[in-house]
Amino acid sequence: MNREQLIKDNFSFLFEEKLLDELSQIGNIKKVNQGDFLMDIGQEMTFMPLLISGAIKVFRTDDDGDEYILYFIEGGDTCAMTLNCCIRGAKSEIKAVAEVDTTLLLVPISKMEDWLHYKTWRSFVFGSYNNRMKEMLEAIDSLAFMNMNERVLKYLKDKVIANKNETLNITHYIISDELNTSRVVVSRILKKLEKDGELKLLRNQIKILKL
C-alpha cells in the first residue's frame, strides 16, 4: 500500500483534508519490529510518532537499571505522544519499546506547534496529552492501591489488549522485570491465578481465560 493511501486510511477520521495533505508530504512511515527501541534512554526526541498499527509499551526506568511499565499504546489509541518533556530528567528516564511489529508515522517535533491552527490537530494533541495522563494515573492507581496479585493480573489483561491475543508469549522473568519485582514472586502469583481459573500456564506462554 502506498504511503499516501496509508495515511488517508488511518487518519481521515481524525484530521481535516488539508492537514492530511500536509501529513502525506511531511510524515515519514517507519516500521519497527517487536522488541525494537523507539526511544533510547537519554535520547532527545526530534519527531513525534503517530501510531498506524501495532502497539508500543512505555516504561519508566531508574538509574539502577530497574524499570516499571507505565502503559501500552495500542491500535484505537492512535497516538504515541511525544514524551520529550521528561527526557532531560536527571535520575529516571522513559523507555519505549515495540510490543509487536508496529507501523508509525513520524512527524518533526516542530510541526506540533505549526499545525495548531487546524482544529482537528488541536483536538488530537490535547486528546493525546489527556490520554497519556489518564494512563499514568492508572499506573499510579496500580502502585498505590493494588497488591501484587491484582497488578500482575492487570498487566496481563492490558497485554492481551495490546497484542489482540489472549495467548501471551512471555516468561515469568520478563513479567517480574516489567513490574519491578522478582521472578519467584511472579511465579507464585501466577500459580495461584492458575488455580483460581484465571489463566493457564505453559512454557513461555500464558493463556488468559477470563477477561
Q: How far apart are CA 207 and CA 211, in angstroms?
A: 11
Binding a copy of itself (rule: CB under 8 A), the pick from 65, 76, 91, 195 is 91
Q: Which partner, a copy of itself, DNA, none, binds residue 9 by CB below 5 to 8 Å per kind?
A: none
Binding site for DNA (CB under 7 A): 147-149, 171-173, 180-185, 187-188, 190-191, 201, 203-205
| Residue 53 in contact with a copy of itself, rule: CB under 8 A | no
Instruction: Considering the complex, state which of residue 18 and residue 31 has its C-beta at the smaller distance from a copy of itself.
Output: 18
Q: Which partner, a copy of itself, DNA, none, binds residue 130 by CB below 5 to 8 Å per kind?
A: a copy of itself
Instruction: Considering the complex, state which of residue 8 and residue 188 has its C-beta at the smaller distance from DNA.
Output: 188
C-beta of 149: minimal distance to DNA in Å?
A: 6
Residues at the interface with a copy of itself (CB under 8 A)? 60, 62, 64, 66, 68, 70, 83, 85-86, 89, 91-92, 94, 113, 116-117, 122, 129-134, 136-137, 139-141, 143-145, 180
